[in-house]
Amino acid sequence: MGTHHKPGDNELIENCWVIIPAYNEAGIIQSTVAQVRSYFPQVVVVDDGSSDATASLARAAGSSVVSHLVNLGQGAALQTGINFALSRQAEYLVTFDADGQHRVEDILEMLAVLRREQLDIALGSRFIGETENMPPQRYVTLKLAILFTNLCYKLKLTDTHNGLRVMHAEAARRINIRFNGMAHASEILEQIANQKMKYVEMPVKILYTDYSIEKGQRIGGSARILWDLFFGWLTR
């Protein structure tokens, strides 16, 4: 991977924290952290009560680690990571999935646009970009989730459950994730809508590897996302 960005970008990259929520990702966390750290030195893995070696492997790969004593869910892990990054004076915050489905190069693009256009948050979309090997069931679920979310929050998005986001610290301070489970994805969008944040959706490439597909199904998969969405909507 070449570092072909402009010199002025270095400072930007220094002030940027990449947050990786991880639950039992020992199999892949080291390579994900290494990949991110080839561009971004500031990485925090939020170990969400893993029972495997996720935390120590992440630390060995050069990441900061914040460990939940018990498993709370991805939403809770993200909020913990956001709090941590803000306490370290992050200027830009990135949320990045642990399972290796995102590309670090996409962060650079999103950061550049965010800064150039003075926006609050950039959201990754797999439906603008390329996607490889998406399982059909996942496709249907995601489309339903998108329809539901757009209707509820009056947003116009093409992908509502993408883990890759880049936000400015000001926006991060205004986001408060209360749903610990997967419904946090919609919750963030709800807050973007309610607080009239300036957002942009950008194409990102999702790599549906065997690992990420298997993981995706293990953490509840499609039915779970829809249930969380519905329940989240009921109780909000």
Binding site for other proteins (CB under 8 A): 46, 53, 55-56, 59, 64-70, 72, 76, 79-80, 83-84, 87, 178, 180, 235
Which C-beta is closer to other proteins: that of 66 or that of 164?
Answer: 66
Residues 56 and 73: their CA atoms lie apart, in Å, by 20
Helix or strand or coil: residue 203? strand
Whole-number minimum distance, CB 17 to other proteins, in Å? 13
DSSP state at residue 158: S
Q: For residue 164, give Cα distances in angstroms to 69, 103, 104, 124, 226.
A: 25, 9, 10, 5, 20
Whole-number minimum distance, CB 49 to other proteins, in Å? 8
DSSP code per residue over 172-190 = HHH------STTHHHHHHH
Angle at 18 between CA 13 and CA 22, to 5 degrees: 160
Residue 188's CB is within 10 A of a number of other CB atoms, namely 24
Whole-number minimum distance, CB 8 to other proteins, in Å? 30
Which C-beta is closer to other proteins: that of 118 or that of 235?
Answer: 235
Whole-number minimum distance, CB 64 to other proteins, in Å? 7
Whole-number minimum distance, CB 7 to other proteins, in Å? 30
Which C-beta is closer to other proteins: that of 49 or that of 216?
Answer: 49
Which C-beta is closer to other proteins: that of 73 or that of 124?
Answer: 73
In this structure, what token pair is assigned to residue 128?
């603008």
Which C-beta is closer to other proteins: that of 65 or that of 175?
Answer: 65
